[in-house]
Amino acid sequence: MAKQVLFLDVDGVLLDWFTPFLQHVTDKRSPHAPIKSIGSYGFHKHPVYKGDESEFYHDIETFVNTKAWATLSILGRNSFYSLSYLRNMGIDLHCLTQTTASASIRMKRVENLTRAFGPTFNSINFTSHGEKKSSVVLNIMKEQYADDAECYMVEDDPDKMDDMLEHGIPCFGIKHDYNVEYQGEDNSVQWLQDVTELPLIFAHSKY
């Protein structure tokens, strides 16, 4: 049987980034009217940004350099056990997260992931904005695995999923309010509530 390799995004897949991000935006832009939702895919369309997409990305930049981002809570009540089960099945697990955070904040994130999931991951990888995640996945597969190894990506960002699919990398999508409009567009993405569904999929399906 070919080696199976699972790449996991962090924010929105393993850790809950959205709740503290909404608080971050509220604190900066709407302290007297808490923002409880940004809606479907397209955060920058929220009225708080008044049509200025650059302001949304500015909020992302400032958020990922905060302690809140570095110490996010686990998404999915039994995620730790699910990932441990996957490892016991012989599946390699690699974290892959895109950020502009400082070196010290990145180190705190590594510590947070290690504290939350233990020695579960084969690697924790950071990519810069503008760098395609697919290129990192393909490089790791080329350098560390045999040609017949199979890789998969778990994501919550539709743009990142499109990038993976364009390069022949199968995707699992984690459902959120902010990607609901995308969920029915592409049948090649298998949508999940959270990563706790993965062990059953890999144990009882074509994967």
Residue 126: pLDDT over 60:
yes
CA 5 – CA 151 distance, rounded (Å): 5
Cβ neighbour number for residue 61 with a 10 Å cutoff: 13
What pLDDT, on the 0 to 100 scale, is given for residue 70?
A: 86
* Span 138-176, pLDDT tens digits: 999 999 999 999 999 999 998 899 999 999 999 999 998
Q: What is the mean pLDDT of residues 72-97?
A: 93
Residue 185: pLDDT over 90:
no
Output the pTM of the full model. 0.89
Q: Which helix (H) or strand (E) holds 190?
A: strand 189-192
Query: Lowest mean pLDDT: which of 50-54, 120-124, 199-203?
Result: 50-54
Average model confidence (pLDDT) across the chain:
89
- Of 149, 164, 178, nearest to 43 by C-alpha is 178
Residue 62: pLDDT over 60:
yes
The answer to whether the CB of 198 falls within 8 A of the CB of 170 is: no
Residue 61: pLDDT over 90:
no
What pLDDT, on the 0 to 100 scale, is given for residue 79?
A: 94
